[in-house]
Amino acid sequence: MAQRTALIVYGHQSSGSFNAAVLDVAVQELTEQGYRVIVSDLYAMNFRASATRDDIIGDLKNSELFQYGEETMHAWMQGRLSDDIVAEQRKVEEAELVIFQFPMYWFSVPAIMKGWIDRVLTQGFAFSLEKIYDNGVFKDKKAMLSFTTGAIETMFRSDGINGDINVTLWPLQNGTLHFCGFEVLAPQIFWSPAHCPPTVRTTMLEGWRIRLKGLLEEKPLTFAPCELFDCSFQGGFMLWPKVREERELQPYGITTGHHLGKSVPPDNQTKAQPTNEK
Ligand SMILES: Cc1cc2nc3c(=O)[nH]c(=O)nc-3n(C[C@H](O)[C@H](O)[C@H](O)COP(=O)(O)OP(=O)(O)OC[C@H]3O[C@@H](n4cnc5c(N)ncnc54)[C@H](O)[C@@H]3O)c2cc1C
């Protein structure tokens, strides 16, 4: 049987950090399970975050009006993307599991990791007009966010000062990972490791090790399947009227984003739902 590959896209500057400890646990545990583990250590690689003309080798399609998305799609088709992007795309192709390991920066990923997302997940390679969400390019792969915060957990509750973590995670988990087709596993959140006792940090690392043992068997998060929408420009990519009518009778919206003005399904972006309800 071919060896399974996991890619960890890692974004922390310090080898003594808690993120580094979390990374080490994942590398050890997945390796023990027989995975080939590839780590893209973005700061160590000095990975370039900005999406520029330098990402395309050779002539541009339209040098008068530079459009990054158009040009990188064209370059991808012709094998003219820069070497650092191609190397990362190969890793994604080989991986059945992609873990993003990072400290939360401004409710999101650090800029260097956003740069990886902007530059590596190019049109054509990671999505196309026809291939998005559950019909997406990476629908046979799994991905997840694993991150640390400065905030304590209660700050990210729906009645906490930062607001609901489910809302915070929607852009990355739906707008990036699920958009490209990945099945998204529930995030691993290490709340405020800098402000808790050492024993709590040890327990968090142990919990992560235990979770990794069954990670690939976990049910992914729930998103709204494309079939619920009229995916045409005429239909505006909106819910089919019949689906909307049916939903009116339900207590919750479909997802965190598709809340339909109702209550958001509980823990939609943080836990796999216990039922098969979509
Ligand atoms: C630009 C910026 C924006 C930010 N935005 C946000 C935000 O929007 N929301 C938010 O909540 N936070 C935010 N933060 C805070 C940031 O998320 C936290 O500082 C970060 O997540 C902490 O993780 P760390 O790995 O850097 O912790 P570290 O400070 O490296 O580690 C915490 C503790 O763990 C210890 N440790 C290391 N290894 C081990 C080990 N093996 N076992 C046990 N303990 C160990 C370390 O010694 C340290 O005492 C932001 C920070 C910056 C710089």
Predicted confidence at residue 32, as pLDDT, reads: 97
Task: Write down the mean pLDDT value for the chain.
Answer: 96
Residue nearest to atom 36 of ligand 1 (CA): 18
Using the atom order of ligand 1, give the atom closest to the CA of residue 147.
Answer: 21
What's the per-residue H, E or C state across the chain? CCCCEEEEEECCCCCCCHHHHHHHHHHHHHHHCCCEEEEEECCCCCCCCCCCHHHECCCCCCCCCCCHHHHHHHHHHCCCECHHHHHHHHHHHHCCEEEEEEECECCECCHHHHHHHHHHCCECCCECCCCCHHHCCCCCCEEEEEEECCCCHHHHCCCCCCCCHHHHHHHHHHHHHHCCCCEECCCEEECCHHHCCHHHHHHHHHHHHHHHHCHHHCCCCCCCCHHHEECCCCCCCEECHHHHHHHHCCCECCCCCCCCCCECCCCCCCCCCCCCCC
Q: Which of 14, 23, 25, 105 to mutate to test the pocket of ligand 1 (most atoms within 8 A of CB)?
A: 105
Q: Which of 148, 156, 189 to mutate to test the pocket of ligand 1 (most atoms within 8 A of CB)?
A: 148
Residue nearest to atom 8 of ligand 1 (CA): 106
Predicted confidence at residue 275, as pLDDT, reads: 60
Ligand 1 centroid–CA 160 distance in Å is 20
Distances (CA, A) of 162 to 16, 149, 165, 255: 28, 12, 8, 20
Ligand 1 centroid–CA 15 distance in Å is 12
Residue nearest to atom 49 of ligand 1 (CA): 194
Using the atom order of ligand 1, give the atom closest to the CA of residue 201.
Answer: 43
Q: How far apart are CA 234 and CA 175, in angstroms?
A: 22
Give residues with Cβ within 8 angstroms of 69, minimum separation 6.
122, 123
Domain spans, the chain: 5-220, 222-278
Using the atom order of ligand 1, give the atom closest to the CA of residue 193.
Answer: 32
Q: Which of 104, 114, 202 to mutate to test the pocket of ligand 1 (most atoms within 8 A of CB)?
A: 104
Q: Which residues of the chain carry a pLDDT beneath 50?
A: 276-278
Predicted confidence at residue 273, as pLDDT, reads: 83
Ligand 1 centroid–CA 171 distance in Å is 22
Distances (CA, A) of 261 to 224, 247, 249, 250: 16, 11, 13, 12
Predicted confidence at residue 276, as pLDDT, reads: 47
For the segment 208-231, what is each residue's pLDDT rounded down to a tens digit? 999 999 999 999 999 999 999 999
Q: May I ask the CATH architecture of the domain 5-220?
A: 3-Layer(aba) Sandwich (3.40)
Ligand 1 centroid–CA 162 distance in Å is 17
Ligand 1 centroid–CA 204 distance in Å is 13
For the segment 8-23, what is each residue's pLDDT rounded down to a tens digit? 999 999 999 999 999 9
Instruction: Give the residues surrounding ligand 1 with Cβ less than 6 Å away.
Output: 12, 16-19, 21, 103-107, 148-151, 193-194, 198, 201-202, 205
